[in-house]
């Protein structure tokens, strides 16, 4: 993008991130007939507020969040990184969410009236590179206390924000059948429960 102003370059890159969001929402919304509910499974944040990355008090950082040292990125009840709340609680037998595995994503700040579902701990760091995955050690900053999934009510409506999309997909790494990612992975049998419980909270089944 030689000759393109830097601010515009950043917006073009952000559009690339948001395209995943558009596809995710486009796939899910036909399944959810909720005119008064809002579902946002975000790799950007709120498509209609693309340039500012802010809406409803949530502030998403356009970057990559990872643990150092690099390990499988688990959120669990055992270490309180996955919180017990209206979305992760048990509705019927087998619905409680105790652990979730993410495969990427970014950190975002939540408003005071929101509840974090996936909370980053002291080993988490965030990068905001100009080039995707150009993660230099000197460019990272602590992401402790930020969120990767949160929810809140907004008047009579409900809002859920996730900044990691792969955990709610079913993928093959590089198209190779033996590399299973997202809900295909045998490591994370409960990711689908989080997705279903999120939908049930939005439709009012979970209070």
Three-state DSSP class for 15?
helix
pTM of the predicted protein model: 0.75
Specify the pLDDT at position 130.
83
Mean pLDDT, range 79-96, rounded to an integer: 82
Specify the pLDDT at position 92.
61
Q: 41 is written with which tokens? A: 């499974």
Higher pLDDT, 172 or 194: 194
Specify the pLDDT at position 40.
45
> Which whole-number Å values give the CA distances from 39 to 32, 34, 62, in the listed order?
9, 9, 20
With a cut of 70, say whether residue 65 has pLDDT above it: yes
With a cut of 70, say whether residue 83 has pLDDT above it: yes
With a cut of 50, say whether residue 156 has pLDDT above it: yes
- Whether residue 163 contacts residue 42, with contact meaning beta carbons closer than 8 Å, is answered with yes
Closest CA to 85 of 35, 187, 160: 160
- Whether residue 12 contacts residue 5, with contact meaning beta carbons closer than 8 Å, is answered with no
């Amino acid at each position: 993008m030689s000759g393109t102003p830097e601010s515009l370059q950043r917006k073009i890159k952000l559009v690339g991130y948001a395209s995943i969001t558009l596809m995710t929402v486009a796939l899910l919304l036909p399944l959810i007939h909720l005119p008064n509910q809002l579902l946002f499974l975000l790799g950007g944040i709120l498509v209609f507020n693309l340039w500012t990355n802010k809406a409803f008090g949530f502030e998403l950082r356009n970057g990559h969040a990872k643990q150092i040292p690099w390990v499988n990125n688990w959120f669990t009840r055992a270490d309180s990184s996955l919180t017990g709340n209206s979305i992760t609680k048990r509705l019927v037998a087998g619905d409680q969410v105790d652990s979730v595995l993410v495969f990427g994503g970014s950190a975002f700040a939540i408003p005071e009236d929101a509840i974090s579902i996936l909370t980053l701990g002291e080993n988490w760091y965030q990068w905001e590179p100009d080039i995707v995955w150009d993660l230099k050690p000197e460019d990272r900053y602590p992401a402790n206390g930020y969120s990767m999934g949160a929810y809140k009510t907004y008047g009579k409506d409900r809002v859920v924000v996730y900044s990691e999309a792969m955990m709610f997909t079913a993928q093959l790494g590089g198209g190779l059948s033996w590399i299973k990612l997202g809900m295909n992975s045998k490591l994370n049998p409960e990711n689908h429960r989080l997705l279903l419980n999120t939908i049930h909270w939005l439709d009012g089944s979970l209070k």
